Amino acid sequence: MPDRKESARLADHAQIEGLADDLLPALIAKLGASGLAELEVREGDWKVRLRRPTDGGSSTTRSATGRAAARAAQAHADHAHGDHGQVDHGGSEQAGSETATNPYRTAATSPAVGVYHPKAEVTSGSRVRAGDRIGSVDVLGIPQEVVAPVNGIVGAAMVESGDAVEYGQELVWIELIATTAERSGRDA
């Protein structure tokens, strides 16, 4: 989806703040008092929904039984956050959520599906610039370059040399040397 106009944004803010102030207390009272599973209220174009915890635990496990549980969980997470079709984060959920929560590091990802080989000279602590070659992924014998996505310092590796990796998989952390500007930008 394209980014939306400032005016629309402000309208959204007003509407949602309205929801929060006027409707939430009523919702809280109603849901707290009743035995309902969930409550939803519309205000203009917006909805607020409160849901009482349902025992989905066992069943979720069930749904992932005999399947790539991590993958299913990933899919769920994507849904829960509503960023349907947004796939610019690769790799396992664990890594994915880390990047989401820690704005001061970013991961170098695999350019292809194959076997990973880090560059010998590049070890934890080495300083790298965006675009520097820090390793390669071997695809049917042809090496594909792995490059540092940002300026920073090589941090913990998430996969070992010789491991099979998929496209977009996070390989190694690059610790950012972040400026305040960058930070506030991320927190916005």
Closer Cβ to its own copies, 28 or 130, answer by number: 28
Footprint on residues 130-149 left by other proteins (CB under 8 A): 139-140, 142
Burial class (CB in 10 A: 0-12, 13-18, 19+), 162: exposed
CB 173 within 8 Å of CB 159: no
Task: Check binding of 19 to other proteins (CB under 8 A).
Answer: no
Enter the tokens of residue 8: 């629309």
Fill in the per-residue mask, 36 to 75: x = in contact with other proteins (CB under 8 A), - = not in contact.
-xx---------------xxx-xxx-xx-xxxx--xx-xx
**Bridge partner list, 152:** 128, 176
Number of residues written out for the chain = 188
Footprint on residues 72-111 left by other proteins (CB under 8 A): 72, 74-75, 78-79, 84-85, 87-88, 90
Distance CA 36, CA 108 (A): 46
Point out which residues bind its own copies (CB under 8 A). 1-4, 9-10, 12-13, 16-17, 20, 24, 27-29, 31-42, 45-53, 80-86, 188
